[in-house]
Structure 1
Amino acid sequence: MNPEEFVKNFYQEKQNILNSSFDTQSEYRTLVSTKIEELNLDKFQIEKLKEIISDVLRDTFYTILLGLDGSASIGNTQQSFKIFDEDNNLISEGDDLEGFAYDYFHGNK
């Protein structure tokens, strides 16, 4: 896996969480989707809520990626991390994720 694939996987996970949060049809519904349904929102309200949750997820995943990259702090600490896969192959060693994260999470991909 390379840095772009790593970031893309985070983006896909963000989308999966968002979609499952509003899935009212699946037999494997999430607690979040059940709670949202219980609000009895109209279509407009559901879309606004979906936008808000999408924004929160985008900011969260983007910040985590930048924190791993050393471009933002995690808590009160800012440092870069080396990221390895399970076969000990280097995926990222700092300054590799920020550009891809921006592209995926701010609409260029």
Structure 2
Amino acid sequence: MTTKEFVKNFYQEKQNILNLCFDNQSEYRTLVSTKIEELNLNEIQAKKLKDIISNLLTDSFYTILLGLDGSVSIGNSQESFKIFDEDDNLISESGDLEGLAYEYFHGEDK
């Protein structure tokens, strides 16, 4: 896996979680989707809530990636990490994730 694929997978996971939050059709619904449905929101309210949750997930995933990159702290500790795949191939070391994370989570093109 490349650094870009690593970041892209985080972005795709964020999108998957967001979609599951608003999935009312699936046989395997999440607790969050059930709770959101119980709110009986109208279309405008549901869109606003979806935007809020999307922003929360963006901030969370982006911060995790920057934390792994050493750009921000995770909890009370700030250090960089080297990320390896299961075959011990280097995916990322300090400074590799920040730009790609910004591109995926805050850029216009995904």
Q: TM-score, normalised by structure 1?
A: 0.98
CA distance in 1, matches of 2:64, 2:86: 20
User: Which runs of structure 2 are paired with 1:1-109 in the superposition (5 Å)?
Assistant: 1-108=1-108, 109=110
Q: For each residue in 1:36-81, what CA deviation from the matched residue of structure 2 results, as whole angstroms up to 9, or x when unmatched?
A: 0000010000000000000000000000000000011101111000
CA distance in 2, matches of 1:107, 1:21: 23
CA distance in 2, matches of 1:107, 1:71: 18
Q: For this pair of structures, how many residues does the alignment match?
A: 109
CA distance in 1, matches of 2:21, 2:47: 12
**Aligned-partner SS, 1:77:** coil
Q: Which amino acid aligns with 1:101?
A: A
CA distance in 1, matches of 2:77, 2:104: 25
User: RMSD across aligned C-alpha pairs, in angstroms?
Assistant: 0.6
CA distance in 2, matches of 1:4, 1:87: 18
Q: Give me the identity figure in percent.
A: 77
Q: TM-score, normalised by structure 2?
A: 0.97
Report the alpha carbon displacement of residue 107 of structure 1 after superposing the two structures with TM.
2.5
Q: Which amino acid aligns with 2:61?
A: F
| Unpaired segments ≥5 residues, structure 1 | none
**Aligned-partner SS, 1:91:** strand
CA distance in 2, matches of 1:66, 1:87: 24
Report the alpha carbon displacement of residue 5 of structure 1 after superposing the two structures with TM.
0.6
Report the alpha carbon displacement of residue 93 of structure 1 after superposing the two structures with TM.
1.0
| Unpaired segments ≥5 residues, structure 2 | none
Report the alpha carbon displacement of residue 85 of structure 1 after superposing the two structures with TM.
0.7
